[in-house]
């Protein structure tokens, strides 16, 4: 059975991913005890909203790149598996914060989510027309910044 996704389907997955991220970061901000972590999680929730809005605007204009059908099918299968397993399963890292999670636990969970998001967006980048890539590149740069900020806070918290 082959997986059939259009450019709009891929954008819908990106929008859903950003929505999941926002929900996670809002919950993490509420549960974090450290003001620094609360501030970072709130910032990241707002970033996810901004990214979602960007993808929603891009959605109708996005067209798949002209790539060989075999590469397109391989990329779509990767996206479907990654998104389903990493973002939307009940035990996915971004779904919910476990009872009793520490700030360090939430930071690790967020880093894992951001890393999976980066892989997804790198694949998305390769599937869009060259003229659409700078927008995806910008979001990739921002997601990498999120990983660095989360890692920095995690390292700072683990030293104390």
pTM, two decimal places: 0.74
At 46, the pLDDT band (50, 70, 90 cuts) reads: very high
2: pLDDT strictly greater than 60: no
Stretch 65-87: mean pLDDT: 67
Distance CA 126, CA 140 (A): 12
Beta bridge partners of 128: 64
21: pLDDT strictly greater than 80: yes
71: pLDDT strictly greater than 90: no
Q: pLDDT digits over 119-134, tens only? A: 888 877 777 777 777 8
Distance CA 150, CA 111 (A): 6
Q: Flag whether 18 is in a domain.
A: yes
Name which of 116, 118, 114 is nearest 136 in CA terms.
Answer: 118
CATH number at residue 138: 1.20.1260.10
**Structural domain total, the chain:** 1
Parent domain of 52: 7-159
């Amino acid at each position: 059975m082959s997986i059939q996704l259009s450019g709009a389907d891929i954008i819908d997955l990106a929008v859903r991913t950003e929505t999941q991220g926002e929900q996670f970061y809002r919950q993490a901000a509420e549960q974090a005890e450290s003001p620094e972590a609360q501030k970072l999680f709130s910032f990241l929730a707002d970033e996810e909203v901004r990214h979602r809005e960007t993808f929603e605007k891009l959605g109708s204009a996005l067209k798949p790149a002209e790539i060989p059908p075999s590469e397109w099918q391989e990329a779509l299968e990767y996206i479907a598996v990654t998104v389903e397993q990493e973002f939307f399963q009940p035990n996915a890292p971004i779904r919910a914060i476990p009872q009793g999670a520490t700030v360090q636990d939430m930071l690790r969970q967020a880093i894992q989510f951001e890393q999976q998001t980066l892989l997804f967006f790198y694949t998305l980048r390769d599937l869009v027309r060259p003229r659409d890539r700078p927008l995806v590149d910008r979001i990739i740069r921002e997601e990498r910044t999120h990983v660095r900020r989360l890692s920095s806070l995690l390292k700072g918290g683990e030293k104390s």
